[in-house]
Amino acid sequence: MSKIHEALAPISWLEGRWSTTDGRGYYPNIPDFTYHEDLEFLCIGQPMYNFLSTSRHPEKQTPMHQERGFLRIKPGTNELSFVVSHNFGLTSLEEGLCETETHQVILETVNLSRISFAKPPFVKKIKRVFKLLSDDQLEATLYMETDTTPMSEHLKAVYKKIQ
């Protein structure tokens, strides 16, 4: 376990490496699918988490969606900012809050920027919720709006903490 900066105390429960025990995806007009995902929220001494996500096809193990970024907290508050790069060619700036009692992190996009040669449909908004289910069990839910689909639940996954 990395040494966590004191600013991260309200979200100290998020620290570590997490791996899906169950990852499911669904969205209007695409077939349901399952996936394997590894998450990292690691602190190297700065007042933030370094974030990595790599998802893979559950049988073929080929890489699928990836995200890389940083999760910051405004010191002395429960306000969060998440700067994320997505491998399909998107930057997302997400802001939100952490709920200490329920151990939840709730984030919504305030800015999205897409590379010039990205493929449609275009993502317009993302909302995500991380919820601690038990000391070593995390749940993530991701909602997405595109230019052709209103905000809809897209991903739901449960992770186990791994060392």
> Site residues for a second copy, window 45-84 (CB under 8 A)?
45-46, 48, 50-52, 54, 62-63, 66, 68-70, 72, 74, 79, 81, 83-84
Rounded Cα gap, residues 38 and 16, in angstroms = 11
List of E strands, the chain = 16-27, 30-34, 36-42, 48-56, 63-73, 79-86, 90-99, 104-114, 123-134, 137-146, 152-162
Task: Indicate which single residue of 102, 116, 134, 163 sits in contact with a second copy (rule: CB under 8 A).
Answer: 116
The two tokens of residue 6 are 């004191």
Nearer to a second copy, 47 or 156 (CB): 47
Q: How far is the CB of 145 from a second copy (least distance, A)?
A: 18
The count of C-alpha atoms lying within 13 angstroms of the C-alpha of 111, restricted to the half-sphere facing its C-beta, is: 8
Footprint of a second copy (CB under 8 A): 44-46, 48, 50-52, 54, 62-63, 66, 68-70, 72, 74, 79, 81, 83-87, 89-93, 95, 110-111, 113-117
